[in-house]
Chain A
Amino acid sequence: MNIAGHSILTITQVANQVKYTLEKNYANLWIQGEIASCKPYPSGHIYLTLKDGQSELSAVIFAQYAKQLQYKPVSGLKVTVNGDLSLYSPRGQFQLQIRNLYPTGQGELWLAYEALKEKLELEGLFSPECKKLIPQYPSKIGIITSSEGAVLRDIIQVLNRRAPHVSCLIFPVPVQGKNAAVKISEAIESMNQYGKMDTLIVGRGGGSLEDLWCFNDEQVVRAIFASQIPVITAIGHETDTTLADYAADYRAPTPSAAAEIAAEDRQETIQYLDSISEKLYSASKQFIYVKKEKIDGFQKRHGFYKPHLVLEQWDVKLIELNRRIKQCIQNTVNSHKKMLDSLQDKIILLNPKTQLKRGFAIATDSKNNIIFSPDQVKVNDDITVRVARGILKTKVKEGKIHNA
């Protein structure tokens, strides 16, 4: 809105502009002060005021950050905080939105930590793609930790129980103090040089920030990243996270957990092998069964039967043909026999001897010609008359021809 050349803003417009400027220019600040008052709300947000000698600042830690705080804010505590400035417009209140909070003193350490963390993260030392898989079935595990203390004892105990066939190679190191970082990184390098192991566990028990500090050392982190052998870290308590943990291929909450990750339980592996063995057998049996079914199927099909049937059919046909041939032969023989018989009868009839037996005679002249007619001979010619039982020689007395 514009009146007489001045632009007139609403409260909200002012608030928004200020908010924008604040968020743009006052983001990611590190601020030191003392907590003047502190009140957690049921929502999970914590509202506090910070002060120094002359000034005061309202602040809020939203629930999602409050959850992850490593130090509890209390009234009177001197703190170094990290957060962004903003404006809470409903109240017109200037507000620091805190993301992280450390007791001052340790604040400096933490600043260094945060800086290093950011630097290494940018270099990609923590990137998930670089993480190696932890071998499930190692033969040998390397352990870098203090030779005294519970960590080594716990790891070995768990490995003994779980995977007695796995051997352990130890590289003892100091796990706190000035020398620790150097010794630890050297240990990791030496183990890599020596090789012959499948996994490394780097561990130390619980302790204060200073105790654990060597695992935030750049040298250690780089050594872990560079390790060809997969590294499991088990440093401090579950809530402690060091830079070494970020660089590791796996971060275990406790030394025992590290040992459990490092090796599969032997009994479970044996059972797994048994189940594979079972599958081998049943898959093979199934295979054979299926093939056998197929073969049986073939046998039942016509293709195999038919020759059988076909042969039988032909057999029947052959028998029939055989019978018919025999029949034909028989018939032919019979009919010829009949013919012969009738011919025989005829022949018998035609036999002159048969006629003679009946009383007929055959007359022949002196030249042996058969006499059919009287005019073949004259009176007194000699003729021979043949009768059934012999011959008569006689002379012609008289001849007479039959009429017609």
Chain B
Amino acid sequence: MPDKQTFEKSLSDLQTIIEELESDTLSLDKMVFLFEDGMKLMKICRTQLDEVENRITTLVKENDEFNEKPGIKQS
């Protein structure tokens, strides 16, 4: 699930960035670069959280194919 990878990976990337920023061994250029990266990742995470679609669908098999139908269907 590419989305999931991004969120969780984004979080762990953010942790790494913060650790590097706190480590004191960076050049000024790298620091700016990391900071910008961090901002981008934050944006990705927040965007995903802001989706309030909350779709509820049911998986139905039709002619050997799976389809998602909106709402809850009976079994």
Task: List the interface of chain A (C-beta within 8 A of B).
Answer: 135-140, 142, 146-148, 152, 156, 159-160, 164-174, 183, 190-191, 193-198, 266, 269-270, 273, 276-277, 279-280, 283-284, 286-288, 290-291
Contact = CB atoms under 8 A, between A and B. Distances in A.
Interface residues of B, number: 41
12 contacts: A135-B4, A139-B1, A159-B54, A172-B74, A183-B75, A193-B66, A270-B49, A273-B45, A273-B49, A279-B18, A280-B18, A287-B26
B24 to A, nearest CB: 7
B52 A280 contact: no
A163 to B, nearest CB: 8
B57 A276 contact: no
Contact of B39 (A148, A165, A270, A280): A280
A168 B1 contact: no
Given A279-B18, A280-B17, A291-B28, A172 B58 contact: yes
Interface of B: 1, 3-4, 7-8, 11, 14-15, 17-18, 21-22, 24, 26, 28, 31, 35, 38-39, 42, 45-46, 48-59, 61, 66, 68, 72-75
Contacts of A174: 75
Contacts of B58: 147, 169-172
A72 B75 CA distance: 37
B26 to A, nearest CB: 7
Contact of B42 (A166, A266, A280, A283): A280
Given A160-B54, A266-B49, A273-B45, A283 B18 contact: yes
Contacts of A166: 54
Given A172-B58, A172-B75, A190-B59, 6 more contacts: A138-B4, A147-B73, A160-B54, A169-B57, A170-B72, A280-B39
A280 B38 contact: yes
